[in-house]
Amino acid sequence: MVAAAGCSSRKAAVVPDEGRYRRAPIREVSEEQLKEDSRLIDALTQQETGHLDEALAAYAALTAERPGCAAAWYGQAQMLMQRGWTDSALHCAERAAALQDSNVWYRLALAQCHQRAGDTRGLVADWERLTALRPGVPEYYYELSNAYLSAGNLDGAVEALNRAERRFGISEPVSLQKQRLWEAAGKSDKASREIEALAAAMPQEKRYNAILASSYMKQKKYAKAKQCYDRILAADPEDEYIHIQLAEYHKLTGHAAEADSELVRAFAHPRLDCRTKIQLLASFYTEEEFYGSHSATAFRLLEETVGQCDDPSEYALYYGDVLMRQARYAEAALQLEKALERDSSRYEVWEGLLICLTEVPEREDDMADRAARAARLFPMHTLPNYLLGLYALRHERYAEALEPLERAAKWGFRKGYLEAETRGLMAECYYRTGQYDQAWQAFELYLALRPDDWGTMNNYAYYLSEQGIELEKALAMSRKTIDAEPDNANSLDTYAWILHLLGRDAEGLPYMEKAVRLDPKSDTLRRHLEAMKTKQ
């Protein structure tokens, strides 16, 4: 009894597994198999050491002699794919997969070949088999979905993702991909349901509400979109983008004032950087809105944003363009000069600056300096040379003016830009420097382009009369000017004076008297009148 009791109180001894420490039985390998393995190793060694031709030949020889060697077919398929020989690679990959259907690597190689060959049906079959072999690999379902999509089978693509979802649960990559697929198919309701499920599964992620709101906005389901925006705002009042989204919502729903108010709130957020604000302004308003119906808000936000930037010159070009469109030329010029300090290689910025400076009389000397620099950088462009000529002419430096004007004419005028204006200045400068033949030619070229410029036509006629040549031609031109502008004192004076030079004072006297009545303070007109009266 005692012995029995003592034995029963002891723990039972652990009996070891009989086969736990035994070595696995050695499998008999035939001599042929050993030779095959040796040849495979040799081929692989050649491949890894860069002897590609020898490796490919070794694989080919082995498959020819041992067509049941799946590994050799696989190695050959890989090398052929690397060389771009798709059809041959596909044949080899098919042989390898057929010999060992459960080998994942062989099937992956076959999928690569089918994809390269554009065989979508084969590609679908490959990934179906791979998901069956490795059902726990999420990426295989994504690839299967892509294969179905390549084959034009949207339902199959979605179902592949559904299978992943059933196995692994709702996840962002799967839900977003399904949403994109339904959106591409024009099935917005189904697309929204995918995001609704994602948002329900992960309520802490506010961005899903943002995606959902965007989807609703595309479907014009504005009330549902507003609910999403409200949830985002309630969950995180400090979100830096929610007021931008609300501004877009109000704009699309026709509440312009509310849209502006939300945009102002968005711009006040400290986490919204200058670059984002500038990009937002450029995209939020149409050009008509920016410079028209919403200009007060748009300009104020732009000025405040640029003023708060660490480096305002980064946005000087955009700001300068806006100011220029507002005809605020002096301010625009300052911004464009800042932009050129950062990058002087863009001619259109120089042109904008020069245009602005022509509208700021007190900066005429700066205009000439900038035009000279632009002309050196971009000698083939007309505007800098034209402005240099204009500047010199205004200061009666006619010979100096001709150099840039002739340079502009030499390079030619793109689509006639400033051609007439340049010819007109050249005509005046040639005449003032005594180069009369060139002056007449320039006047003719100008009037061919501007036949209704009565002022220049009058000057041409008067200059001919001053030289005492082609008076009948001058008289005909002068007649056109007074017919067009019968109360222009200068034109009347030219016409009357040409008649005087032709000895037709009685005919010209009424025109000269009218000219004096129109401009009684002109000494020149009074002298001409006295000369004509005396001649009579």
What would the pLDDT profile of 224-280 be if each residue is shown by its tens digit? 999 989 988 988 889 989 999 999 999 999 999 999 999 999 999 999 999 999 999
Structural domain tally of the chain? 1
| Cα 88 to chain centroid, rounded | 43
Q: What is the pLDDT of residue 194?
A: 80
475 falls within a domain: yes
Output the CA–CA distances (angstroms, integers) from residue 24 to 16, 19, 33, 50, in the order listed: 17, 9, 20, 37
Nearest to 343 by CA among 361, 317, 323: 317
pLDDT (average), residues 215-226 = 89
pLDDT in tens, 424-475: 999 999 999 999 999 999 999 999 999 999 999 999 999 999 999 999 999 9
Tokens of residue 106, six digits: 């062989």
Contact 289, 282 (CB under 8 A): no
Under 8 Å between Cβ of 161 and 142: yes
The pLDDT value given to residue 6: 32
Q: Is the pTM of this model over 0.85?
A: no
Q: What is the pLDDT of residue 17?
A: 44
Residue bearing tokens 């040409």: 498
Q: What is the CATH number of the domain that holds 495?
A: 1.25.40.10
Q: What is the pLDDT of residue 26?
A: 52
Band of pLDDT at residue 16, cut at 50, 70 and 90: very low
**Separation of CA 325 from chain center:** 21
Is 194 among the domain residues?
Answer: no
Q: Is residue 494 part of a domain?
A: yes
**Residue 338 confidence class, pLDDT cut points 50, 70, 90:** very high
Please determine, for residue 14, whether its predicted confidence score (pLDDT) is greater than 50. no
- In the structure encoding, which two tokens stand for residue 95, read together? 């042989």
Q: Is residue 527 part of a domain?
A: yes
Report the alpha-carbon distance of residue 34 to residue 32 in Å, rounded: 5
| Confidence category of residue 191, pLDDT binned at 50, 70, 90 | confident
Quickly tell me which residue has 């084959």 as its tokens: 151
| CB 465, CB 474: distance < 8 Å | yes
Q: What does the CA dihedral 281, 336, 352, 408 come to, rounded to 10 degrees? A: -150
Residue with tokens 């198919």, as numbered in its chain: 185
pLDDT mean over 401-406: 97
> Domain range for residue 492?
467-536
From 142, 202, 137, 217, select the one nearest 177 (Cα to Cα): 142
Domain presence at residue 488: yes
Q: Fill in the amino acid letter for 173.
A: P
| pLDDT at residue 10 tops 50 | no
- Examine residue 516 and state whether it is found in any structural domain, yes or no: yes
Instruction: Please check the confidence at residue 499 and state whether its pLDDT lies above 80.
Output: yes
Structural domain contains residue 173 = no
* Whole-Å CA distances, 67 to 74, 216, 404, 519: 12, 59, 84, 112
Whether the pLDDT of residue 53 is over 50: the answer is yes
pLDDT in tens, 125-162: 999 999 999 999 999 999 999 999 999 999 999 899 98
CB atoms within 10 A of CB 307: 10
Per-residue pLDDT tens for 431-442? Answer: 999 999 999 999
Residue 535 covered by a domain: yes
Instruction: Please state whether 169 falls in left (phi above 0), alpha (psi between -120 and 50) or beta.
Output: left
Cα end-to-end distance, the chain, whole Å: 172
Q: What is the distance between the alpha carbons of residues 352 and 318, in angstroms, rounded to a whole number?
A: 12
Please check the confidence at residue 24 and state whether its pLDDT lies above 60.
no
Mean pLDDT, the chain, rounded, equals: 89
What percent of the chain has pLDDT above 90? 72
Rounded Cα distance between 136 and 144, Å, is 14
Q: What percent of the chain has a predicted confidence (pLDDT) above 70?
A: 94
pLDDT at 189: 79
Q: Which residues of 376-414 are buried (b: 16+ CB within 10 A; e: fewer)?
A: eebeebbbbbbbbbbbbbeeeebeebbebbbbbbeeebe
pLDDT at residue 28 in the model: 62
Read off the amino acid at residue 41: I
Q: Name the more confident of 10 and 198.
A: 198
* CA distances, 58 to each of 32, 54, 65, 75, 526 (Å): 16, 6, 11, 10, 113
pLDDT at 518 over 60: yes
